[in-house]
Amino acid sequence: MLALKDFLDGNQVKYTITSYSNSCSMEEIQDQQAMLGMEFVDSCLLEIDGHQIVIAVISHCKQIDLVDLQNRLKASKITVLTADDIKLILPNHSLGIIAPIGRLYGLNVLFAPELKQFGEISFLGDSPRNVFSMAYVDMVSLSDMKEDIEIPTKPKYHVFVNEVAPEIARGKLASYDSCYLGVSLDNPSFSTAKLIAMTDWIAKRFRSCRVLLGDSLYRLSLLIDNHGLTERQAFVQALHAGGKYINAELPVFDRYLNSCPFEFVYCSDIQQTDSYREYYDIIEDLMKNDTRLVNAVNTFSFQFVQRHLAVDATSISGNDFLQICQQYLIEELAIFSCLFDSNLYPILYPGSLSIFEEIANGEHPNLPDSLRDMIYISLRFKRRKGFHDLTTIKKEESHASITN
């Protein structure tokens, strides 16, 4: 079997390779690849009814709906082959990485239908450190399609409501036709796979959603992580990161243009308004004399800095990072005040933000009315069973046990 690069060169295919240096740990590489968007694909080998082997190609942020695929193929059993299985079938292929190129292995290929929308596809080729990118049409031209059957997919994660504040609002959520989704940049909870799960969950429950992107707030995170960065440099980088994130994830949001449109709201735009400056001054004044609010902000900031920087508690008091985190919260509270002033919809966020739970529960009565009236919904994820822990589907197995 030819090496991937030699095979592509021999077929005069244009491609690029992005390589990670040996100094990058596999964990760092996987974290970066998790943010590559829907056009970064995974491939695996499927054995159908014990005798036919095909390559399945899907976006890395989704997983195969094996029950649906089994029904489409009218198969009795589908097995996802392991790395050890691959070595037996392809003895010269020791790494266990399958490129989405059928003719390289002499195998038919099943493609997920959503891949058609991308001009370029990226995938791991000859090493976990090398990401190949090439035109989708070229990838298909080098693969023999399996009877034009498209492979069905589903989100990698289940989404659950972890907490609602105030709790009394839990029973009223169905009465809202819209919601907010707070998005933090460079946060693993907003990887493409988890974003797909959240947008699917939202689209089943609401008619529209406004996505609040913390672009300008991200400059403060950059100042914590990059000691030599100036405020201006951090601001420019933060806005660039916000635009880059939306562009990369637009295919995720656009899946629901007709049923649940997602509208983008940028913190940087809100912070240019007179309303924001008024609310900021109010909250800044409260930070001078509202002891309960000051304690809540300081506690949250202290815990964040200690966790984020992995430093000893005794080294945190009075340091610049703590002050930056406090500034972040003050700005965020002013932004939320503006947001809820125009439309009071529930705001969803993956994870627990204790200070917002306290505000929604009425523990900070001096804050602006629009902020105190918020409904905060904390979401959590649960990974679905995937290739490594669910390798065989038989006809007689329960459909519900697989798809829930």
Domain shared by 180 and 322, yes or no: yes
CA-based end-to-end distance of the chain: 40
Domain shared by 137 and 161, yes or no: no
> For 187-230, where are the alpha helices, taking DSSP H only?
192-203, 218-225
18 lies in which domain range?
4-154+392-403
CATH number, domain containing residue 12: 3.90.960.10
Domain shared by 193 and 108, yes or no: no
DSSP state of 35: T
Domain shared by 46 and 181, yes or no: no
Number of domains in the chain: 2
Q: Please tell me the predicted confidence (pLDDT) of residue 403.
A: 27
Q: Residue 160 CB: number of other CB atoms within 10 A?
A: 11
Q: Please tell me the predicted confidence (pLDDT) of residue 390.
A: 41
Owner of token pair 């439309």: 343
Contact 123, 84 (CB under 8 A): no
CA-to-CA separations, 71 to 209, 292, 396, in angstroms, rounded: 34, 59, 12
Q: Please tell me the predicted confidence (pLDDT) of residue 382.
A: 94
**Distance of alpha carbon 350 from its chain centroid, rounded?**
10
Domain shared by 306 and 216, yes or no: yes
> For 190-273, where are the alpha helices, taking DSSP H only?
192-203, 218-225, 231-253, 267-270
Q: Please tell me the predicted confidence (pLDDT) of residue 145.
A: 67
Domain shared by 218 and 270, yes or no: yes
Nearest to 142 by CA among 86, 92, 100: 100
Domain shared by 221 and 145, yes or no: no
Owner of token pair 């590559």: 36
Q: Please tell me the predicted confidence (pLDDT) of residue 404.
A: 30
**Global model pTM greater than 0.75:** yes
Domain shared by 116 and 229, yes or no: no
CATH number, domain containing residue 326: 3.40.50.11710
User: Would you write out the chain's pLDDT as a tens digit for each of its 404 residues?
Assistant: 468 889 999 999 999 999 988 898 888 888 888 778 889 999 989 999 988 899 999 999 899 998 999 998 899 999 898 888 887 777 666 566 888 998 988 888 988 888 888 899 999 887 888 899 999 999 999 887 655 677 888 999 999 999 999 999 998 888 999 999 999 998 989 999 999 999 999 999 999 999 999 999 999 989 888 778 899 999 999 999 999 999 989 999 999 999 999 999 999 999 999 999 999 999 999 999 999 999 999 888 887 777 666 555 454 454 677 888 899 999 999 999 999 987 889 999 998 888 999 999 999 999 999 998 999 999 999 998 765 444 444 443 333 222 23
Give the whole-angstrom CA distance, residue 155 versus residue 9. 35
Q: Please tell me the predicted confidence (pLDDT) of residue 307.
A: 67
Contact 38, 59 (CB under 8 A): yes
Q: Is 74 left (phi over 0), alpha (psi -120 to 50) or beta?
A: left
Contact 125, 4 (CB under 8 A): yes
Contact 146, 129 (CB under 8 A): no
Question: Radius of gyration of the chain from Cα atoms?
Answer: 24
Q: Please tell me the predicted confidence (pLDDT) of residue 2.
A: 60
Domain shared by 138 and 273, yes or no: no
Domain shared by 62 and 185, yes or no: no
- CA torsion 315-317-322-323 (nearest 10°) is -140
Q: Please tell me the predicted confidence (pLDDT) of residue 178.
A: 96
Domain shared by 70 and 101, yes or no: yes
Instruction: Name the token pair of 331.
Output: 């700005």
Q: Is 310 left (phi over 0), alpha (psi -120 to 50) or beta?
A: left
Instruction: Name the token pair of 198.
Output: 């959240």
Give the whole-angstrom CA distance, residue 4 versus residue 100. 10
Nearest to 105 by CA among 178, 43, 157, 21: 43
Q: Please tell me the predicted confidence (pLDDT) of residue 148.
A: 61
Domain shared by 125 and 218, yes or no: no
